[in-house]
Amino acid sequence: MQRLSARPSDRVAATTTGRRRRRRRRPTAPRRKSPSLWRKLPWRLLAAAALAVIVVGAGVQAIKAGLAARAAAEFGAVLVRLTADAGFTVQEVVVQGRRRAQGDHILNALGYGRGDPMLAVDPATAKARLEALDWVEIAAVGRRFPDRIHLVINERQPLALWQRDRRLVLVDHAGQVIAGQDPRDFPNLPLVVGDDGPAHLPALQEVVAGDTELAARIVAAIRVGGRRWNLRLDNGIDVRLPETGERAAWERLVALQQRHEVLERDIAMIDLRLPDRMVVRLSPTAIPADDNDSAAGIEPRGDDA
């Protein structure tokens, strides 16, 4: 049997080969991808570019809108001119509901006259100008083609004369001042006294509206301390209303007048501030009260209670 033996050089080679097979390879690093062009650009540059695109787009839209508006305006002007040439011009102004407002003031506020194109009449603008007049509360403006403007005027109703700074001014049913009026033209209107009188006048009007005959006898309403009213009647009697419950107090007075004619007696003042009784101040020449007055809840006094 022949024994085989390796040469030293072969052993060395075999050993070396085995070691190489057992040696691990080092992992290779992944290759980096080159950044794209968008990543290389600074973010501020991108933002500026986006803003530029937005601005340019907005400018284009604005130009388009401006051209459209200009074209619409030119077309409207041509249409107004053509219809005016065809006879659609203002020839008549009809006013309905005017009593106190002056006609020339209405025409001046309207702003349109004979010969103006009908399509040039702006009802909304004319309405605003008319309602700025002293006497006009509400106005309606309509175009009646081919040549008429129709106005409906709702005038403010004068209710009282307000004594302010030693002067008298006219106020309407809403407590608003009607400027530019001579109070001597309204001698039959009642007088209102007090800084806040006009503001509370509509509420007082609702209180006394239950009996129009008695309400017509009020010649003056004096606001006391900004809290309540004193009413002066046509026969000189002062009626003192409470701070609250004015309507109930006024209704008591109406009932007593209907049953006992208390306002026809020789008294100077009626105090309705107490809910369960009516206190009166007699005049010096008054006839003494009878038992019926006590039963009616009337308590006479000789002084100003």
Sorted by where each starts, the structural domains of the chain and their CATH numbers stand as 92-155 (3.10.20.310), 158-301 (3.40.50.11690)
Q: What is the pLDDT of residue 156?
A: 96
**Among 111, 110, 116, 127, which Cα is nearest to 90's?**
116
Q: What is the pLDDT of residue 62?
A: 53
pLDDT tens per residue across all 305 residues of the chain: 333 333 444 443 434 444 445 555 665 555 555 555 445 545 544 554 554 455 456 555 655 566 667 766 776 788 888 888 888 999 999 999 999 999 999 999 999 999 999 999 999 999 999 999 999 999 999 999 999 999 999 999 999 999 988 899 999 989 999 998 999 999 999 999 999 999 999 999 999 998 999 999 999 999 999 999 999 999 999 999 999 999 999 999 999 999 999 999 999 999 999 998 889 998 877 665 555 555 455 666 654 44
Contact 151, 110 (CB under 8 A): yes
Q: What pTM value is reported for the model?
A: 0.66
Contact 118, 90 (CB under 8 A): yes
Q: What is the pLDDT of residue 291?
A: 52
Q: What is the pLDDT of residue 17?
A: 44
Q: What is the pLDDT of residue 10?
A: 43
- Gap between the Cα atoms of 13 and 10, Å rounded: 5
Q: What is the pLDDT of residue 285?
A: 74
List the structure tokens of 167.
Answer: 């002067």
Instruction: Name the pairing type of β-strands 228-233 and 218-224.
Output: antiparallel
Q: What is the pLDDT of residue 182?
A: 93
Count the alpha carbons within 13 Å of 107 in the hemisphere toward its beta carbon: 10
What is the DSSP code string of the chain? -PPP---HHHHHHHHHHHHHHHPPPPPPPPPPPPPPHHHHS-HHHHHHHHHHHHHHHHHHHHHHHHHHHHHHHHHHHHHHHHHHHTT-B--EEEEES-SSS-HHHHHHHH---TT-BGGG--HHHHHHHHTTSSSEEEEEEEEETTTEEEEEEEEPPEEEEEEETTEEEEEETTS-EETT--GGG-TTSPEEESTTHHHHHHHHHHHHTT-HHHHTTEEEEEEETTTEEEEEETTS-EEE--SS-HHHHHHHHHHHHHHH-GGGSSEEEEE--STT-EEEEE-TTPPPP-HHHHHTTEEEESS--
